[in-house]
Amino acid sequence: MVLRVLIFLLCFSRREAYQICHSLIVRRGPTILSPRYTKAQTSSGSGEKSNQFGKAEYEPTVPVAMNGGDLWVGWRVTPEELEELVEAATSTVRGKPVMKQFHPRRDWLWRQWDGTIVRSVMFNEVKLNMAWALISVSIVYHILPRALLVQQSLGGFDSVTLDACRSAVVASLKPIENFWALTQTLVAFVLSFFLSQTYAVWREVYSIARKIQGRLSDLGLLLATNGERDLTRPDTPYSTRAIVTMEIWARYARLFNMLFFASVTRRFAPLATPKGLQALNAQGAITSDEVKTLLATTSYHQTVCLWMSTLIANSIHNGAIQGASGVAYQCSLMITNLRAHYGQMGDALSGRMNLAYTHLVQLFVDMLCLAAPLALVGPLGAFGAIIGTAAVTLFYAGVLALAKMFLDPFDNEDYGGRSGIRLEADTLVQEVNANTRRWVTAARDLPKAAFNPMTCVLLPHQQLGLPLPTVVEATEDNIVIKDLDDVTSFNDTTIERLVNTTVLVSQHPTEAAIFEDKHKLHNATSISITSSSTADSGGTSEFATTKQRGGNTIYRAWRADPDDPNTVLRAVPPRTSSYFEREFADNDDNEIRTSAKNKLNTLWTSFKRRLSITTSFLSRRYSRSFFFFK
């Protein structure tokens, strides 16, 4: 605005001034786009019209934050640009972070230029307003005082000096200074609130983009986990139809993500055109039949989302994806959440901010910056007014510029991207490309531990390098075990005797471990352990004491002779174990009751002693008072 005023003052003709202003205002578009056309050139109602000076005025009729306000943005692309775009859209290598990264160190932040708001406002705002401040100071300090001096001289006031006239002019600006100081607080409040609202829009768009990625990853995890395979052989990969199903789903997920960003970003808009779909077909991202099907619809990414949903439902029905109703419900839930999230993206961009709100904030900031030199020339002087105007412009105009960049998160208007303040749509697309392939290949060959963890778990004895116990004698009521080499020497008769839990006795002097192996021991209740040397007398109490030391561990063994590795240990039947537990719980209750009773007795004794002391004191005092009155 200030530059326009200067040009009008310097130019000789009005038409010449408008031509210069138009050449300065028109900005160079991104490499993927040609300059904007007029209505006659586009032969479409794109919202552009010519005014009386022949300049194409732009009136957006579509969501500006989604395609820059130009319906034909995706059609004006060269073959070279389209080839580069398709290569970026199908790549699995992430080129850049999704947003500019930073180090929190002060020295590093002070050295930055690219991606900062200072770069955005330094040339367009600060320098122009400094030029305006220079003109204002020149008028206040030189032109107006000299004009006033000439006027006073013509009026017969020859004693008036130039300094007096300058002081009079500066003093006349005192009301502007006072009004500017009052307005500054209001503008600061409105601007700070506006910035918080625009950042909320930017954060919402980023959050929605991540949620879309998350739902696609959830679907990939469910399909990879429940793909059809031979459950009796852990080393068997997926069946053929399971692999085909997951490969098709992964391709659909990538295609959906590309076409979705083609609908909300100007960068990928050419992909949602017949020429863009043919380029994706040449790259292998879509088949020829699918291209024909998409061209017959109006919303490409929604159609592909329907393809994914139908593919998953049919695959669960024919058995390519296992899990039946549970997996079907979870996949349906993820699909509906995905639809909700990508619908929110368009809503957030098209309803980012009301025009009236943005217009009001722009007026506040512009008026504050334009009035800054007139308000600061009095208290700060000529040089201080120029520097102060630069500072005010940097902070106020910088905050407003940052807020407007937050309203253009994908740089669809070529506004935020000039300074690197944008979300990288390329990165968001490439991350999904990599993730969909990762889920399919990660679970194709399962390790034995993932297929059946009980066959590969190291027991505590194996972790410590100690020998394992095995059964050497089994009767109807108990099982005696000794320390031998391998637990696999359990015989079938012994397996039928045990019910739920295999007992493994540690070589540690005070502890044993319990290991559950449902492949060797099929029916089950708990089994406790006591030392054979004390099983008939004293074993119960020793076991209970050891259990108390064990804390949350259910069973621990007690060894009669820690130095004798051949000590025989006995596994007591479950009914005896239950008796041990009940007896141990009863002992705990008795201890609690006894402790509480002792505390109550102590408190009662202390209370009686204090009561007797108080009673004796009061009796002596009142007896003396009665004797005095008597």
List the domain boundaries for the chain: 1-61, 231-350+431-445, 457-584
CA distance 75 to 270: 6
Portion of the chain with pLDDT greater than 90, in percent:
26
Quick one: tokens of 385?
Answer: 């007014």
**What per-residue confidence (pLDDT) applies to 519?**
34
Alpha helices in 12-78 (DSSP H): 14-25, 39-42, 64-67
| Residues 480, 571 contacting (CB under 8 angstroms) | yes
Measured distance CA(295)–CA(89) in Å, rounded = 20
Average pLDDT score over residue span 517-539: 36
% of the chain with per-residue pLDDT over 70: 60
Report the C-alpha gap between 461 and 472 in whole angstroms: 19
Count CA within 13 A, CB hemisphere, residue 423: 25
- 525: pLDDT confidence band, cut at 50, 70 and 90? very low
State how far the Cα of 350 lies from the Cα of 346, in Å rounded to an integer: 6
In the predicted structure, residue 515 carries a pLDDT above the cut 50: no
pLDDT of residue 208: 95
Query: For residues 400 and 396, what is the distance between their CA atoms, to the nearest angstrom?
Result: 6
Report the distance separating Cα 39 and Cα 59, nearest Å.
Answer: 11
Q: Is 474 left (phi over 0), alpha (psi -120 to 50) or beta?
A: beta
Q: Please choose, from the candidates 100, 137, 205, 169, the residue with its C-alpha nearest in 3D space to the C-alpha of residue 386.
A: 137
d(CA 491, CA 501): 15
Mean pLDDT of 276-303: 92
Residue 2 or residue 326, greater confidence: 326
Q: What is residue 92's predicted lDDT score, i.e. its pLDDT? A: 87
The reported pLDDT for the residue numbered 294 is 93
- pLDDT tens for 68-105 read 666 666 777 888 888 899 999 999 888 788 888 888 89
Q: Check residue 162 and give its pLDDT.
A: 74
Q: How many CB atoms lie within 10 A of CB 539?
A: 22
More confident: 600 or 62: 600
Helix (H), strand (E) at residue 384: helix 355-392
Copy the structure tokens of residue 15.
């038409």
Weakest-pLDDT range from 44-53, 362-371, 408-417, 608-617? 44-53
Q: Is the pLDDT of residue 206 over 90?
A: yes
Is the pLDDT at 344 greater than 50, yes or no? yes
Residue 59 confidence (pLDDT): 54
Per-residue pLDDT, 39: 35
Write down the residue that tokens 């200072």 correspond to.
118
Task: Kindly give the interhelix angle for 174-225 and 324-350, rounded to the nearest 10 degrees.
Answer: 160
At residue 534, does pLDDT exceed 60? no
* pLDDT given for residue 422 in this prediction: 83
Phi, psi values for residue 284, rounded to 5°? 90, 10
Lowest mean pLDDT among 173-177, 345-349, 489-493: 489-493
Q: What is the pLDDT of residue 292?
A: 93
**pLDDT band, residue 333 (cuts 50/70/90):** very high
On the question of pLDDT at 537 being above 80, the answer is no
Among the residue ranges 83-92, 424-433, 574-583, 596-605, the one predicted with the least confidence is 574-583
In this prediction, residues 470-493 reach a mean pLDDT of 39
Span 47-52, average pLDDT: 42
Q: What is the pLDDT of residue 591?
A: 65
Would you say residue 285 has pLDDT above 60?
A: yes
Per-residue pLDDT reduced to its tens digit, 116-139: 888 878 777 888 888 998 998 888
From the centroid of its chain, how far is CA 193?
Answer: 23
| Angstrom distance (rounded) from CA 94 to CA 102 | 18
Asked if residue 451 has pLDDT above 80, the reply is: no
Enumerate residues 6+ apart whose C-beta is below 8 A from 140. Answer: 166, 169, 170, 173, 374, 377, 382
| 513 pLDDT above the threshold of 70 | no
Top-ranked range on mean pLDDT: pick from 42-56, 434-448, 450-464, 481-495:
434-448
pLDDT at 300: 92
CB 421 within 8 A of CB 98: no
Indicate whether 475 pLDDT > 80: no
pLDDT given at position 341: 94
Output the pTM of the full model: 0.63
- 397 or 543: whose pLDDT is higher? 397
pLDDT at 61: 56
- Check if the beta carbon of residue 448 is closer than 8 Å to that of residue 455: yes
Please indicate whether residue 435 or residue 542 has the higher confidence score (pLDDT): 435
Task: Assess contact for 85 and 268: CB atoms under 8 A.
Answer: yes
SS percent in the chain: helix, strand, coil, step 5: 65, 5, 30
Question: Is the confidence at residue 200, as pLDDT, over 70?
Answer: yes
pLDDT tens readout for residues 219-243? 999 998 888 887 666 566 788 888 8
- Write phi, then psi, for 481 (nearest 5 degrees): -125, 150
Which residues lie below 8 Å from residue 605, measured CB to CB, with a gap of 6+? none
**Residue 504 · residue 485 · CB < 8 Å:** no
CA angle (252 as vertex; 248, 258 as ends), nearest 5 = 150
| Residue recorded with tokens 């997926």 | 238
Give the per-residue SS3 of 418-462.
HHCCCCCHHHHHHHHHHHHHHHHHHCCCCCHHHHCHHHCCCCHHH
Q: Would the pLDDT of 143 be above 70? A: yes
Question: Among the residues of 139-239, which ranges form H helices?
Answer: 144-154, 162-172, 174-225
Angstrom distance (rounded) from CA 286 to CA 276 = 11
pLDDT > 90? residue 504? no
Encoding tokens for residue 107?
A: 């020295």
- Is pLDDT of 536 > 70? no
Q: Which helix (H) or strand (E) holds 590?
A: helix 574-629
Collapsed DSSP state (helix, strand, coil) of residue 532 = coil
Average pLDDT estimate for 204-215: 94
Position 204 pLDDT exceeds 80: yes
Mean pLDDT over the full length of the chain? 71
Sorted by sequence, the CB contacts under 8 Å of residue 466 that are 6+ apart come out as: 506, 507
The mean pLDDT of 17-25, rounded to a whole number, is 42
User: Is pLDDT at 332 greater than 70 in this prediction?
Assistant: yes
